[in-house]
Structure 1
């Protein structure tokens, strides 16, 4: 952080983050880790995949985030009969006998892709192209999406009948994969109390689109020490069974390791994690803090790991 303006901007981001957490906490009970990772992915210009059983307030969380950040929000319910044009929009013949493009729901700042594994690969690919390119193509014409653009997809871990699991290459587009757990007894009491009485849970707007884009730029400008960069890249390299840094247990427990995108996201996530915790440059602890949700969907366990009941998080813990 060379310039005073950068230091002030970093302090402003930390302050905004704390305010946003407080506002979201007025509506969402618990789920602190989930909220943290959703906000880090927004400020790092990434996308987030939420995995959890129904009824854990995934939709409410995304709606609340969009209100606090004063962003446009669209929810797309993924179903087996959803077509790519239902997401990106389509060309229609106007009264003047010319085709015109009618934008689909993807033309928004925050997209909630609900149950993304319920729709066939062709429709999944339409959304994933928009995530990667920040633009969509219809009838050979490219249409830019509004910025900032952020996709929060949800997946239901039960009821796998009639679903189309996202392939590894498409999972790689998501910065984080975050698992939502059941609330604690105390949290559930609070949830039931809040949702079964008349409560006006309005939230204040903390940031707008321009400020978010400025903060995304700030996160990229944060300097990183060489040892932290090397730690992040080496951590990812350790997940590759035939790589030079692979430990013997990795060769046995993993079939496939993470690609370079994981290293990029580790550094971006660590930068953002550092700033929201009052630091001006990330250290190794920041890399570790974001490693599990970045690596867990990029490594493929072997038969041995499954037989021993080891989760991807257990294996990442061993890599530390």
Structure 2
């Protein structure tokens, strides 16, 4: 009973932390200078993207370097729908859902027989193939010039200022992350964690690993595609930079830096990375060197990430982390 009470208390604390974080972000226009608002909005959207990626990586234990494909294609659906095909908001959202869920299902089916480094390479190959297709079909996608003119008129209400769009983005990202949290705590999310811990044991209990792996990719891909569409609307532009494998590597590193076993870990990681990048860009063109040193230092000093500072000192690295505590299935749940 004490373990159950402890788990519920921890869940309540995480929920309160999420609410406090997003309230602070929602009120950011009142205390953040206008010049930095676009950076804060970028942190919110890309941070939510990193959390969506972590459904596959942290929750499912499946490394991926292809998630930029979800993010970038979501943006291209908006860009092409607005500037080329004159789609309405409903059609654009349907296109984002089809692209995100469809590509997620394809990757989920492809990962049935591979894992570890082979899964990493396969997702990288798929992502690069999509990047190549978009880059080469310049007549449709604009190639390396991208698509400009992705105005916010596609939304059913007016968001004229950066501050208004920022608050809209915070609400959308909060809703997406709440759904991802619910998925993590659902029976399917618990089963995915069980597969990460021991696929053979879950298989012996009657679970089909392939179905749950595919579900993780579909849910993650759908959320990433949706957030990519939101990011395109924020920028007013869609380009191949949203499809590059380096973006996938960035969210992977963000999950490690923040703590992949913590729900908010990837979000915190992205916030720190973008803040370091924005700060040192003003002083030197070699800000990537600073980021590289920061990654090395974090991996060496904080093996469990920023949110695992206390745990890394008091407990071994393989001890249960908050994400595991919430999502790990009990034997009774697994049998039922």
Tell me the TM-score range normalised by the shorter chain: under 0.3
Q: TM-score, normalised by structure 1?
A: 0.24
Q: TM-score, normalised by structure 2?
A: 0.23
Higher RCO structure (Cα 8 Å, ≥6 apart): 2
Greater share of helix: 2
